[in-house]
Amino acid sequence: MLFTACTWGLTWPQSKFLLTMLPPFSMRSVCGIGGAAFAFALAAARRERLLPPRDQWPWLLLFAMLNYGLFVVLTTQALVYLSASEAVTITYTLPIWASILAWPVLGERLTLTRIAAILLGCGGVALMVGIGTAAASWAQLPGAAMALAAAWLFGLGTVVAKKRPLRLPPATGVAWQGAIGSLPVLILAQWEHPVWGRMSQAGWTSVLYIAVLPLSVSYLAWFRALKLVPASTAATTVLVSPMIGVIGSTLLLGEALGPRQLLALGMTLCGVALAARG
């Protein structure tokens, strides 16, 4: 889970960087196609069965939309309105929804330790989101709303995957979810006009990183983790991602990292530590 959280966190500043060269959905399309292709190649190398059983298709479509398609569409648009550090911290309110949904769906009761972890982690998120002037905050509302919607959907995907895991080999499951989830992004990209000649070597390196690690290997680690720990603990532990995303945004993009951001990150890390104990 920590490997997944770190690689997902670094995706945000790199995606924001790619937006300086490509339109939003074109950027996500090339990363998504690359990630699905890598996952299929990995599945073939592992000699996994590539064709899903017929009864798994409805669940496969559901997970592909929750964990990939709708999540990617919403977070991509959120990055247009928000800085990378703001987008990643708002999106990772997902532990709230996962922990709440895990109670009725999985019977995982909210212990005091988990409640404290959620409050600390989400308090850090709220502190991070509060950065900026009032005028800027109004302009950021659409992005914040889309990031929150993405968080809710991923939290739902987390608990559903815990209750009804796919009966597919690991790499095959990730490959099909990536491929199906990329379809709405590809459709939206048809209205864009990317200039591929604007892509620099650093840009293509970012595309390679996002395709191989966050969209392939990290999802394999994530779904494996869901089999080993409670869904609410898994979702809370990935609050490490905002820390990595904010630090990465500071180092790679020059975004602000002052006392307020540092306090927000400290609260988030305390929440993660409590989640690990719980």
Write down the pLDDT at residue 133.
Answer: 44
Write down the pLDDT at residue 130.
Answer: 65
Do 5 and 218 contact (CB within 8 A), yes or no? no
Q: How many CA atoms lie within 13 A of 68 on its CB side?
A: 32
131 pLDDT band, cuts 50/70/90, is: low
- Predicted model pTM: 0.86
Question: What percentage of the chain's residues is helix, strand, coil (to nearest 5)?
Answer: 80, 0, 20
Domain range list for the chain: 2-45+54-277
Mean pLDDT in residue range 175-187: 96
DSSP 46-58: TT---SPPGGGHH
129 pLDDT band, cuts 50/70/90, is: low
Rounded to 10°, the helix 112-129/240-253 angle is 20
Percent share of the chain, pLDDT over 90 = 48
Do 2 and 205 contact (CB within 8 A), yes or no? no
Asked if the model's pLDDT at residue 273 lies above 60, the reply is yes
* Interatomic CA distance for residues 88 and 240, integer angstroms: 11
Label residue 19 exposed, middle or buried (CB < 10 Å: 0-12, 13-18, 19+): middle
DSSP 223-243: HHHHHHS-HHHHHHHTTHHHH
Asked if the model's pLDDT at residue 173 lies above 80, the reply is yes
Write down the pLDDT at residue 141.
Answer: 80
* DSSP conformational letter for 257: -
Of 126 and 58, the one with more pLDDT = 58
Asked if the model's pLDDT at residue 136 lies above 60, the reply is no
Average pLDDT, the chain: 86
